[in-house]
Amino acid sequence: MSDIQLQFGERGQSYKEIGKVLATEFRAQPLAMAKLFALKGARSWYGTDSGRHEMTILLIQMAYLLIILWSARRVWRQGGMYRKFGIGILLITIYFWGMTVLAISIARYMVPVMGLLFILIGAALFPRSAAEARPA
């Protein structure tokens, strides 16, 4: 970390310069950088800014995410508009996840997308038949 701080100094950096520093560090220490990004990616689902109750939050989120993964798989298999809906929710989730990993990896920034992910559960459990979907 101190190596990176020495490269930046006190002045602000452009995104291109930040990318160069990250690429240099990734080439120098690929395993450490991969672990860092994996930790930031995982922690964005359960981390808190105070660090308290993270294990409890992790267990609850794991239960939610397992149900959501099952629901996403079921929605995908239904095809048609369900698949498109699932892809849309997946893209929004990836966007929020990416922004959370780039900023501060805490669960607070993933909360808005969790509501969308819960909609997948309803779509998987209660699919509408083709007859019900048509207006009368």
Q: Is the pLDDT of residue 99 over 60?
A: yes
Q: Which token pair is 125?
A: 């459990």
Q: Is the pLDDT of residue 3 over 80?
A: no
Question: For the segment 44-97, what is each residue's pLDDT rounded down to a tens digit?
Answer: 999 988 889 999 999 999 999 999 999 999 999 998 999 999 999 999 999 999
The model's confidence at residue 134, banded by pLDDT at 50, 70 and 90, is very low
Query: Is 16 in contact with 31 (CB distance < 8 Å)?
Result: no
* Cα–Cα–Cα angle for 130, 133, 136, rounded to 5 degrees: 110
- CA gap 85, 74 in Å, rounded: 12
List CB contacts of 18: < 8 A, sequence separation 6 or more. none
Q: How many residues does the chain have?
A: 136
Question: For the segment 101-123, what is each residue's pLDDT rounded down to a tens digit?
Answer: 888 888 888 999 999 999 999 98
Query: Is 97 in contact with 114 (CB distance < 8 Å)?
Result: no
Query: Is 118 in contact with 55 (CB distance < 8 Å)?
Result: no
